[in-house]
Structure 1
Amino acid sequence: MISNDILAHARQCAPAESCGYVVRTARGIRYFPCENLSAEPTMYFRISPKEYLKALAAGEVVALVHSHPGGLPFLSSGDRTLQIQTALAWWLVCDEQIYKFRCVPHLTGRQFEHGVTDCYTLFRDAYHLAGIDLPDFHREDDWWDEGKNLYLDNLEENGFYQVHADKAQPGDVLICCFGSPTANHAAIYCGGGELLHHIPDQLSKRERYTDKWQRRTHSLWR
């Protein structure tokens, strides 16, 4: 199995970071281990362009793999920058587990398109990068005017529970009423009195959790 190959390579390379590619070939999915050329291989990884060309010649490169020996099971900010440049899924090996991160754009500066890059997309992508996968689903514009309550009907089902507003912690989800009496907007509480969210006709951004947004807040979820 490919997972066994990936884990074995990570063990072999430790305490240095392992690295390689997952390739879809004519014979199925294969793992192509690569040499870590970084000058600081216990902290970083670097793959020769020749290794990528070799993997590409074998089939479709579908993911880049590297490990965090003794590290954390999510991508660092440097990893995220490189992932966006590669436009690939990144698989991370940590503590004998493989964590799979699809390539998502930067969380700030996104154009708004309802159902494609909207407040739920941002919420879902932020949690994905933290290792928590949430379902995607079709949502028509103005669903809140059609008697639907998509956030409140689905949060608990996906493992969230409501907490008191004065207990807010970074990563909690603020469900707000934006231009409607129905709770129709999600924001991520970042701590320090800031939130991350995406509202129509604006780029996604971090901003102060002002009195205006506190008044719009319906509930807080964790």
Structure 2
Amino acid sequence: MREKILAAIRRHVAAEYPNEACGVIIETGKQQRYIPCKNIADKPTGYFTLCPLDYAAAEALGEVIMVVHSHPDVVQLIPSEFDRIQCDHSGVEWGIMSWPDGDFCTISPRGERSLVGRRWVLGYADCWTLIMDYYRQHHGILLKNYSVQREWWIDGKENIYDDNWQAEGFVEVSSDAIRPGDMVMMQISAPVTNHAAIYLGDNTILHHNFGNLSARVPYGKYYRDRTVRVVRHKELLDA
């Protein structure tokens, strides 16, 4: 990266410290430029939310080719899984600068993430995210995103799964008639239905359990005892 742009990033990061700074690099013709943006996160010392109005204003000036933010007071500059997921969704490269060390690294979108071996990030890489990606990748079915950054199931006041599965085009089927591609809805250590998996056949499910890597596991007694219902998407009823 050009030293002129790195210098502009350093100035912005230093000015925002100890908060996380954020901005974008735009390209117009052969020229590149760093555009500082506002971090509107509730806790800017721990994470960033780039102001949408600032992003739109930068887009009006040129093509956004990189999103940049800082990691204040880190022992070592290592992109988090949350950074990587957000980079994946943005579709452009990300640049990260530590401060006050001033180290800089870049990461690129990974394309389609594997369904197995994903690290858990609540709201971004959890059981419903896996469900959405499975149906999109394998069946071209787009589901609404109900993943949120909170443990909504703890007090039983919210019932996101039970309230929305029918609206997403699923119909209940007998557990005796379960077949590959069906969604298994479960209640695990919670007063409401709070988990879902994909039945793969051969007594195996694909799921992303809280705090663990996504995995294929046996659909054994533990999960069967906690199953609330088995559902099949209406587009797969005659498949």
Say if 2:144 is the partner of 1:135. Answer: yes
Paired residues of 2:154 and 2:191 also in contact (CA < 8 A)? no
Paired residues of 2:120 and 2:126 also in contact (CA < 8 A)? yes
Unaligned runs of 5+ in 1: 1-24, 27-58, 62-86, 89-101
In the superposition, the TM-score normalised over structure 1's length comes to 0.53
1:140 Cα deviation after fit: 3.9
Say if 2:189 is the partner of 1:179. Answer: yes
The aligned residue for residue 170 of structure 1 is 180
Deviations for 1:47-94, whole angstroms, at most 9, x for unmatched residues?
Answer: xxxxxxxxxxxx899xxxxxxxxxxxxxxxxxxxxxxxxx97xxxxxx
Say if 2:121 is the partner of 1:113. Answer: yes
Paired residues of 2:143 and 2:168 also in contact (CA < 8 A)? yes
Counterpart residue identity of residue 155, structure 1: W
Alignment of 1:1-222 (within 5 A): 103-129=111-137, 130-137=139-146, 139-146=148-155, 147-222=157-232
Report the aligned-residue RMSD.
2.4
The whole-number CA distance in structure 2 between the counterparts of 1:137 and 1:185 is: 12
- Cα 1:124/1:138, change in 2 over 3 Å: closer
- Cα 1:110/1:165, change in 2 over 3 Å: same
- Cα 1:189/1:138, change in 2 over 3 Å: closer
The whole-number CA distance in structure 1 between the counterparts of 2:147 and 2:227 is: 24
In the superposition, the TM-score normalised over structure 2's length comes to 0.49
> Percent of counterpart pairs with the same letter?
36
Partner secondary structure for residue 123 of structure 1: helix
Deviations for 1:31-62, whole angstroms, at most 9, x for unmatched residues?
Answer: xxxxxxxxxxxxxxxxxxxxxxxxxxxx899x
Counterpart residue identity of residue 145, structure 1: I
The whole-number CA distance in structure 1 between the counterparts of 2:133 and 2:199 is: 14
- Cα 1:120/1:138, change in 2 over 3 Å: closer
- Cα 1:137/1:212, change in 2 over 3 Å: closer
1:135 Cα deviation after fit: 1.3
The whole-number CA distance in structure 1 between the counterparts of 2:147 and 2:141 is: 20
Partner secondary structure for residue 153 of structure 2: helix
Partner secondary structure for residue 145 of structure 1: coil
The whole-number CA distance in structure 1 between the counterparts of 2:112 and 2:215 is: 16
- Structure index of larger Rg: 2
Unaligned runs of 5+ in 2: 1-27, 30-62, 66-89, 92-109, 233-239
The whole-number CA distance in structure 2 between the counterparts of 1:208 and 1:216 is: 14
